[in-house]
Amino acid sequence: MDIEERKFIEIVERIMVRWGYTSTEGKVYATLLLSSTPMTITELVEKTGLSRSSVSISLTRLSRDYLVTCRKRGRIKYFTASPAFFEKFLHQPKEMLEREIRPLEEIVKSMMRKYDENMKSKLNAILNDLKKLECVLELIIRVEEESECLTNE
């Protein structure tokens, strides 16, 4: 494996971890993306240096999330990765907004009723910061929904 391939795998692995996948899943996905032909679990184990069970578990999740497809020939399974960075990226603002930012805002609002003025001031600063983040995420979502350049292949 050359330097560019190793760097590619490292960066894809980091991106995948940021998006909620494990480092192992990122490594398996990146390795499959770089492969010009479908790979078996045995080939992935050899190429990545990961254990067979780790590779198998990773392939299960990656397949479930439609990042990897599996084709059977006889008793052997062959795996192929689909480039889906753009699609996964587009889900990030929506997920962050719904799963993290809005629930956190509600918790902070609830906490403001319980604390003294000094703490309320700090919580209010947090709430203002979350509101700004919410606004930016909503803008990103709107741009994604309205932009023509994102629909052209």
pLDDT tens per residue across all 153 residues of the chain: 799 999 999 999 999 998 889 999 999 999 999 999 999 999 999 999 999 999 999 999 999 999 999 999 999 999 999 898 777 777 788 888 998 999 999 999 999 888 888 898 999 999 999 999 999 999 888 887 776 666 655
Q: What is the pLDDT of residue 153?
A: 54
Please tell me whether the overall predicted TM-score, pTM, comes out greater than 0.85 for this model.
no
What is the structure's pLDDT at 143?
A: 82
Q: Look at residue 150 in the predicted model and tell me its pLDDT.
A: 64
- Residue 50 near residue 44 (C-beta atoms within 8 A): yes
And the tokens for 34? Answer: 């770089």
33, 12 contact by CB (below 8 A): yes
CA distance 82 to 65: 11
pLDDT the model gives residue 78: 97
Predicted pLDDT at 93: 87
Which token pair is 9? 């795998």
**DSSP line for 86-140:** HHHHHHHHHHHIIIIIHHHHHHHHHHHTTS-HHHHHHHHHHHHHHHHHHHHHHHH
Report the pLDDT value the prediction gives residue 128, as an integer from 0 to 100: 95
Q: Are 86 and 134 in contact (CB under 8 A)?
A: no
